Chain A
Amino acid sequence: MERKRSFRRRKQRKPFSEKCKDYLRKFAAFMFSNVGIIGLVVGYTIAGAFIFTSIEGHTEQEVKINILTSRNQTINRLWEVTYNLNVLYKETWRNAVEIELFKYQKDIIEAARNGYDGSDDVDEFKQWRFAGGFLYSLTVITTIGYGNILPRTPWGKVATIIYAIIGMPLFLLYLSNIGDIMAGSFKWIYAKCCLCRCCPGVARRRAERRRRRALQLSIEYINSRVDSRNNSDLSQASVHNIHMEEYRLNSLGGSSSDDEEEEDSDGVTETDVSYDSQAVTVPLTICLAIMVGYVCGGAILFSRYEDWNLLDGSYFCFISLSTIGFGDIVPGDKIYSGKGYELSFIFCSMYLMLGMALIAMCFNLMQEEVIHKIRTTMRTVRYILRCNR
């Protein structure tokens, strides 16, 4: 969108520099091409990371300072309590301390809601460092929205809204683009690897095809005979016959895969085994297997990285990839250890971007397959109906 605007601006200067226009055009074309879109999304996310860290960087500090002061106050009060009770009876002391602790607990809850993560060091920013900002931007434009890192300032909120308005279409564009490419290449791989000659089912299919062709020829013969015989009236019986035969053919061919067949089936015998890689529909099971495999793989990786168990890992992967994004389990959760924090952020971002494209691809493929299935079924049913009439 902004590209459009910039182009318009540039357009007025265009006459005196054709070159500029050409470069711009090429640049735009590249940016929206397959490679460029990845760069665009990543760049946008990085920009978002910088924006948000600069806007939000100091709120975290405030929360920490608040907690520190609250803790000190609590200690003071506790000391007073202990001091004022001249004789330490356990019950009275307990009650007094309980009240104080309860107050303190409320403070902690408030702070935790405001993004307090438990670390004391005031000068250390954990959430709104670059990695955190990057993950935040990514969760905004993917609409995952974990909510573990949040904008607290009004400007942060406004910036989030604007950032999301621009970013989400961009990411959708990325998804559809990459999903298309991946779907195409996956199909190609599938067609080349799984449907090739070495497959055991191919011989059977080829035989079937040959038989079908023979039947076709006979039907053609019948057709021409029917046409020549009765010019005036098509006897209902013969039509019926033909339809019956058609249906038999169809059911015969429909069960086996009629999709990888070339359309020029008569005369062109060598197209027999070469499949149009784009006309292949990938079975649902493979798509599902890919998605499940990706989630499980992610689960294994994360469980190694983050000390989650396998269920938590796969739960996290699923919740993230379906863009639900509860945020109850978030990467970089090893807050207290401190090390491996940034790395896991980056790793998680990559996992998400790849995973969502993969999901898009799988949906792309599954959709084709489902529509194709439904159509085939409908066709079959139609033939049945036509026969019965």
Chain B
Amino acid sequence: MSRYLDPEGLEPSKPSACSRFLRYTWKTITCIFSHIFLVSLVVSYCIFGAKTFETLEKDHEMEVKKNISSIRGRIIDKLWFNLTSEPYLREENFTFLIVKHLKEFEGELLKAMNKDGWDGEEDINKVQWTFAGALFYSIIVITTIGYGHIAPKTTLGKVVTIFYAILGIPLMLLCLSNIGDVMATSFRFLYWRVCCYICTKKPKKPRRVRQRGGTIRREGGRGSYRSKTQSLRRSVRTSTRSADSGFDYGDVNPLSHSDTEIRVHEELPPMKVRGASLPRMKPGQNSRFREMSTVNQRPNQYGAGRVQQRGGSLDRRRAPKVWDPSLDLNTFPDAPVLCNKYALEGPEIESNHIQRGGIRRSFERSRGRRAVSMPRTHNYLELPVPVSPARSTEDLRPRQSESLKRPSPSRHHASPRIMSPLGYGSKSLYIEEESDTEYFDDGMSFESSRTTRIRPVPIWLCVFLVVSYIFAGAFLFTAWENWDYLDSAYFCFITLTTIGFGDFVPAKRVTENAEMSIALCSLYLLFGISLLAMSFNLVQEEVIANVKSVAKTLGIIKSDDIDDDDD
């Protein structure tokens, strides 16, 4: 835990270039470390499981195999006994007798196959529960595919499987979403940096996509309702992630309050403010736009531009073409950026609002100290505002004293704004995050500005990727396993969707190089699932927005329900 806290502890005390560099390297290291750590954890967990299951199940399988020949022997003995007990051999009699016994034999074989997991092979050297088989089994369990071609048959094996799955499935999910994130980031990077430099002859394209995203967003979600679902979704996604994301969430809190400060300070002389508060802004930004660990990795020089942009995008409804980042940089340094929906109502309210913002801010200061034990809906208030050296406290003094005279109106003003979108409430958890967002805007600007920054990869590309992956897999399996093409495609689909019927399993009939094909299949499977995770990651937001807009046009108020449709 301390490793997550260290940068934060260092940072506000000396926000120099050196420390920033340190923090970025630290973040990169922790990022890489956590990925590698997770993957290696999963791998070692699988190997551990393989060892365990091998020892647990191998003997039982051997026994079953030996048992088969004894079953046959018994049947033959019975037949012989019946044969010799008959004085005359007549065909009808014989047939009648034998049918009975053969049926019995059949029943016993089926029982051996279904109940005891016999694979139909009598050779004792060819057991299913070899190390490779057990490894495959562990992978199958923790990915929840569950072919069932090998299943534990001993009591202990079943119990261990249950606990193994309880621990392993979340671990696997964590790892997959992590890998999916990384892949999504790199794919996005690849797509926009590589592919779209090639097709620079139509520079319209990214622009168009971006704007589409913006408009969808705008019509897709009104106000905080949208932000709720967004934040929800985000946190849902995060929750499948590691504890370290949880810690990252923790990181958000100390820093996010600086957003509000920035808001106030942009009304003050802008240059100074930006210099002062931007460095601290970035981490909050990072963790807020959770999906990308990219931002951690590339040191963003546009820090200033982005913040401005974000601030600028608040006024989006007034000036929709503010989207261009460069434009933002130039246009907005001295414009008073009010991160509030009241700002929309016109310039005369703006001035009013400046005051209000100041009041609120200073109120926060005073509030911050005693709010510690306050209900956590006010979490953004709870944080005592660290007194940054660049801040001219004398600016704030008068306002503060002024605001102290009437704390309750401003509070009453503030609280319903925070609480009102939270009528749904069942997500009380996200209230904090919500109110963070809510406080400097109604949260929408965030989402929209995120779309500008994280430019979506077109849906068709992701779908195409997955489909082609399935077809490529079908082709490969046709070559490896001698299935026909439809069967292979069917197998790939059933596997990647984790349905896992188990009618086609690699290395079930071809037994020469079972280990090889098992290894190939596991690789295909793991990569495929992370590819699916990646494309979900890429497509998700846009699809949700699309579906939501459709739902809006349909007039379904509960558009919340719809958005999971394509999850």
A, B: real partners: yes
Closest residue of chain A to B77, judged by CB?
A94
**Given contacts A250-B373, A374-B243, A169 and B400 within 8 Å (CB-CB):** no
Interchain CB contact under 8 A, B105 and A243: no
Contact between B72 and A219, CB atoms less than 8 A apart: no
A227 lies within 8 A of B401 (CB): yes
What 7 pairs between A and B have smallest CB-CB spacing? A378-B250, A278-B425, A324-B146, A326-B148, A145-B499, A147-B501, A374-B246
Query: A300: CB under 8 A from chain B?
Result: no
A348 to B279, CA, bound (A): 57
* Residue A168, interface by CB 8 Å: yes
Contact residues on B (Cβ < 8 Å of other chain), bracket:
35 or more
CB-based contact B558/A75 at 8 Å? no
Contact A322 B254 (CB under 8 A): no
Chain A residues whose C-beta falls within 8 Å of the C-beta of B148 in the assembled complex: 146-147, 325-328
**CB-nearest residue of chain B to A105:** B109
> In the complex, which of the residues A25, A71, A160, A378 contacts B555, with contact meaning CB atoms closer than 8 Å?
A25
Asked if A258 contacts B494 (CB within 8 A), the reply is no
Residues of A whose CB lies within 8 Å of any CB of B are 1, 4, 7, 25, 28-29, 32-33, 37, 67, 71, 74-75, 78-79, 82-83, 88, 90, 93-94, 97-98, 101-102, 104-106, 108-109, 112-113, 116-118, 120, 139-140, 143-147, 150, 154, 157-158, 160-161, 164, 168-170, 172-173, 176-177, 180, 183-184, 187, 212, 215-216, 219-220, 222-224, 227-228, 231-232, 234, 239, 242-243, 246-247, 249-250, 252-253, 258-259, 261-265, 276-281, 311-312, 314-315, 318-319, 322-328, 367-368, 370-372, 374-375, 377-379, 381-383, 385-386, 389
Hey, which chain A residues are within 8 Å of B246, CB to CB? 370-371, 374-375, 378
Give bound CA distance, A71 to B109, whole Å: 14
Kindly provide the distance from the CB of A191 to the nearest chain B CB, expressed in whole angstroms: 11
Assuming A71-B106, A279-B431, A374-B250, what are 20 further A-B pairs, CB within 8 angstroms? A29-B558, A33-B561, A78-B94, A79-B91, A102-B72, A105-B72, A113-B503, A145-B145, A150-B503, A157-B486, A173-B562, A180-B426, A224-B366, A231-B394, A280-B428, A314-B162, A325-B146, A326-B147, A368-B428, A383-B372
In-complex Cβ contact of B374 among A265, A281, A328, A372 (8 A): A265
Docked pose: A323 CA to B89 CA in angstroms: 55
Q: What residues on B are CB-neighbors of A264 within 8 Å?
A: 415
> Considering the chains assembled together, what is the distance between the CA atoms of A258 and B375 in angstroms?
6
B53 to chain A minimum Cβ distance, whole angstroms, is 13
What residue of chain A has the Cβ atom nearest to residue B68's Cβ? Answer: A105
B275 close to A (CB within 8 Å): no
Q: Is the CB of B155 within 8 A of A322?
A: no
Residues of chain B lying within 8 A (CB to CB) of residue A75: 95, 98-99, 102
The answer to whether A140 touches B499 (Cβ under 8 A) is yes
B484 CB, nearest partner CB in chain A, Å: 9
A382 touches B253 (CB 8 A): yes
A98 touches B72 (CB 8 A): yes
Give chain B nearest CB distance to A160 CB in angstroms: 7
A228–B75 alpha-carbon span in the complex (Å): 101
User: What residues of chain B lie closer than 8 Å to A374, measured between beta carbons?
Assistant: 243, 246-247, 249-250
Is B191 engaged at the interface, CB distance under 8 Å to the other chain?
A: no
Chain B, residue nearest A243 (CB): B384
Residue of A nearest to B505 (CB): A147
Known contacts A315-B158, A328-B117, A381-B1, A263 near B564 by CB under 8 Å? no
CB distance from B167 to the nearest CB of A (A): 12
A118 near B106 (CB under 8 angstroms)? yes
From the candidates A118, A314, A324, name the one contacting B165 in the complex (CB within 8 A): A324
In the complex, are the beta carbons of B501 and A259 less than 8 A apart? no
Tell me the smallest distance from the CB of A68 to a CB of chain B, in Å: 10
Is the pair A319, B146 in contact by a Cβ cutoff of 8 Å? yes
CB pair B94–A82 under 8 Å, yes or no, is yes
* Stretch of B78-86, B195-203, B451-459 with 4 or more beta carbons under 8 angstroms from chain A: B78-86
Q: CB within 8 Å of A: which of B426-440?
A: 426-429, 431-432
- Do the beta carbons of A227 and B404 come within 8 Å of each other? yes
Query: For residue B145, which residues in chain A have a CB less than 8 angstroms away from its CB?
Result: 145, 324
User: In the complex, are the beta carbons of B387 and A7 less than 8 A apart?
Assistant: no
Contact of B366 among A102, A113, A223, A326 (CB under 8 A): A223
Chain A residues whose CB sits within 8 angstroms of the CB of B507 once the complex forms? none
* Interface SS, A side: helix
When distances are taken between beta carbons in the complex, the residues of chain B under 8 Å from A215 are 373
Q: Contacts A157-B486, A258-B375; is A90 near B80 (CB within 8 Å)?
A: yes
Residue of A nearest to B75 (CB): A101
Give CA–CA (A147, B494) in the complex, Å: 11
Q: How far is the CB of A273 from chain B (nearest CB, A)?
A: 14
Taking CB atoms, residues of chain B closer than 8 Å to A161 are 489-490, 493
List CB contacts (< 8 Å) of B351-387 with chain A: 366, 369-370, 372-379, 382, 384, 386-387
| Chain A residue, CB-CB nearest to B137 | A326
Is B490 touching A157 in the complex (CB atoms < 8 A)?
Answer: yes
Which residues from B are CB-within-8-Å of A326? 146-148, 151, 502
Which B residues from 149 to 204 make CB contacts under 8 A with A? 151, 153, 155, 158-159, 161-162, 165, 169
Q: Is the CB of A259 within 8 A of B394?
A: no
B550 contacts A by Cβ under 8 Å = yes
Pick from B243, B247, B394, B428: contact of A278, CB below 8 A: B428
Flag B482-516 by CB within 8 Å of A: 1 or 0 each: 00001101100110011111110000000000000
Report the bound CA distance from A7 to B562 in whole Å: 15
**Separation of A36 and B41 alpha carbons in the complex (Å):** 43
Which partner residue on chain B sits nearest A381 by CB separation? Answer: B5
With beta carbons under 8 angstroms apart, the residue of A98, A169, A324 that contacts B144 is A324
Chain A contacts of B94 at CB under 8 A? 78-79, 82
7 contacts between A and B (CB under 8 A): A75-B102, A143-B498, A176-B561, A258-B376, A259-B428, A265-B374, A328-B115
B215 CB–A CB distance under 8 Å: no
List which B47-63 residues lie within 8 A (CB) of chain A.
Answer: none
Closest chain A CB from B549 CB (angstroms): 11
Q: How far is the CB of B363 from chain A (nearest CB, A)?
A: 12
* A281-B428 in contact (CB<8A): yes
Cα A150 to Cα B505 with chains together (Å): 13
> Which listed residue (B375, B384, B386, B564) contacts A173, Cβ 8 A?
B564
Pairwise interchain contact B370-A146, C-beta atoms closer than 8 A: no
